[in-house]
Amino acid sequence: MKCTNSSHKPRVVSVLLILAVLLTGCGGTKYDMAYELNNEVSGFQLLNITNQETLEPFAADLCVANKDVKAAGVNLPDAGTAALFNLKTLDTLYAKNVNAQINPASLTKVMTALVAIKYGSPDQMLTASENVIITEPGAQLCGIKPGDQMTLEQALYILLIYSANDVAVMIAEGISGSVEDFVALMNTEAAEIGATNCNFTNPNGLTEENHYMTTYDLYLIFQEAIKYDLFNRIIQTSSYSTVYKDRNGEDKSLEVDTTNLYLRGTYEMPANVKVVGGKTGTTNAAGHCLMLLSTGSDGTPYISIIMKETSGENLYADMSRLLGIIK
């Protein structure tokens, strides 16, 4: 399933005729057409009557999924929501509940990284505040302390590879001055790229009321993030070692392994598919989540997402089934 201009030509012509009448109506009366996010007319290719210019639809270069899409031999009953997108042909090869708003856990950190890379610089120095002390049971932490310092690039590696919740707070405060201002920027940037069915309340994905995303929003955010070289390098990394400074200027060493079990070799990649990298997430509210960038044997790139899976074992088994669609 994909968005193409040609499939809507008859309907576009009708819409254009109506617009021509409304915009040039009797007596020179002018009618304004309100912009509505949920109005399907906004998504079509409309002709500017005055300037004779063509406006490209928002989804001209995106995969589209407005309903479930089934694939032969693929059944994922344990997955709350799942999708597979072909980034070359713009086909949606599989879709299940992709517009359901659910807790995204640490898949949130893809948006955190995207905003940080866009508004920061890799060598920007970050300093941890008292807010990096997180006491929520089960929270993934790298153990940074107030006063610790590292570059944004170091922090992004730890954020995306190890999924550290404390470093997400340090990044947010380093980029925007406060978590609240950074979260506001996350929501603004999400809306800019069309991810309008999500809402962020924190930069790390820990469970909070009104913090939610959809699988389709995650696709939009991920495909934007992979446009950045730094993001691509990080998500392909299986382990990372670094040295940063404590509040007294002393060296502190840190070594972390990726939480992506395909890259660690715990699970075998499906035949003829290479898992390039991605992001994991797990909380009691979100279940087990995984988002991947993969390539087929011909080099075609794909984004696959599974959220709210019942267990880690089922997550990787279902992801392999999903990637098995790729020929």
Q: Closest Cα partner for 308 from 14, 102, 86? A: 102
239 is catalytic: no
How far out from the chain centre does Cα 238 lie? 20
In angstroms, rounded to a whole number, what is the distance separating the alpha carbons of residues 172 and 157?
A: 15
Residues in the chain: 327
CA separation, residue 264 to residues 4, 40, 140, 237, 267 (Å): 38, 43, 18, 10, 8
The one-letter amino acid code at 166 reads D
* Strand positions, DSSP E, the chain: 47-48, 53-54, 79-86, 92-96, 125-127, 149-151, 239-245, 251-257, 273-283, 287-296, 301-309
Catalytic residue among 2, 6, 70, 106: 106
Give me 10's structure tokens: 């008859």
The one-letter amino acid code at 65 reads A
CA separation, residue 79 to residues 4, 40, 136, 243, 282 (Å): 29, 29, 26, 39, 13
67 is catalytic: no
Catalytic residue among 9, 88, 109, 176: 109
250-278 as b/e: b if 16+ CB within 10 A: eeeebebebbbbbbeeebebbeebebbbb
163 is catalytic: yes
Catalytic residue among 96, 163, 279, 308: 163
Q: Closest Cα partner for 6 from 33, 44, 63, 51? A: 44
- Catalytic positions, written as ranges: 106, 109, 163
